[in-house]
Amino acid sequence: MYLEQVFTQILKMSMTAGWCILAVLVLHLIFYKVPKKYLYALWLVAAFRLLCPVSISTPFGMFQGEQAAVQQITVEQPGSEQADVQQTENSKDVRPVENTQKISNEALEQQTMYSQSMVHAAGGEKRVLWLASRIWVVGMIVLLGYYAVSLWNIRRKLKKAVLAQEQTCHPGWRQIPVYECDSLPSPFAMGMLHPKIYLPYGMQTENREMVLLHEQYHIRRHDQIVKAMACLLLAVYWFHPLVWAAWAVMCRDMEMSCDEKVLELIGKARKKEYSMALLQ
């Protein structure tokens, strides 16, 4: 029963976050010329909605409210019939006792049938919720397992990495150890507490400076932690298509904002050179 409650809360949070993600995507379309660091920061709002439990009205809650209203009307029906009887008594047109009892019995039978149908419907909803919560857990396990296998493969490749003879150094930025590995297709930064930069072996010297600035800015901004948290949110909300869209756009904003920072550091005159480095 606890698992169903957790899944219900996740569904409620996903509905609120879905509207928030749509709003951020619309802002991306409107302000596409704005520096990407500001658009990247907007995803903090969506992440907050995915993390923070909020109370909202759901279709289930509305449906329950309608049921309560119908039950109230059904209960009040005998009272209205008694009022009719009193009115007819005042007008000296009293209904027979048998007809009144017959109407009351019919109303009671209808209320009983309605209550039974609601019990069956509630039982069906519970079975659906039980099944959906188990599917949700299985989906999370599969996605987390995929993450674990991918991380294991990367770490297996990094066993061959060799510490380079230099460390990144930019005024005001801390030094980050740089490793080279011949089995890497592209450079990346990795590590939570002690991050490191990994480069493909034999990278050209003219590209090395710009790539190191790019990866070091990722570390300076703690993007590796942001991406790890985003992966966990994606695993929890794997059933939500807008969360997948948010993941894709957020990763693009992350990389493009780093590119903007590198161009700011090296100067716009080297924009073509940096573009060629990215292509390579």
Per-residue pLDDT tens digits for 181-226: 888 888 888 888 888 999 888 777 777 888 888 999 999 999 999 9
Structure tokens given for 249: 């756009």
AA identity, residue 111? Q
- The position carrying tokens 């510490």 is 163
- The position carrying tokens 């923070």 is 52
Query: How confident is the model over 140-180, as pLDDT tens digits?
Result: 999 999 999 999 999 998 888 888 866 666 777 778 888 88
Structure tokens given for 244: 């997948």
For the full predicted model, state whether its pTM sits above 0.85: no
Among 208, 123, 113, CA closest to 168? 208
Nearest 10 degrees: CA dihedral of 235, 240, 244, 249? Answer: -130
DSSP one-letter code for 270 = G
The rounded distance, in Å, linking the Cα atoms of 243 and 117 is: 37
Residue length of the chain: 280
Which has more confidence, 7 or 80? Answer: 7
Q: What are the DSSP E strand ranges found in 138-272?
A: 162-168, 176-181, 188-190, 196-200
- Round the CA-based radius of gyration of the chain to a whole number and report it: 31
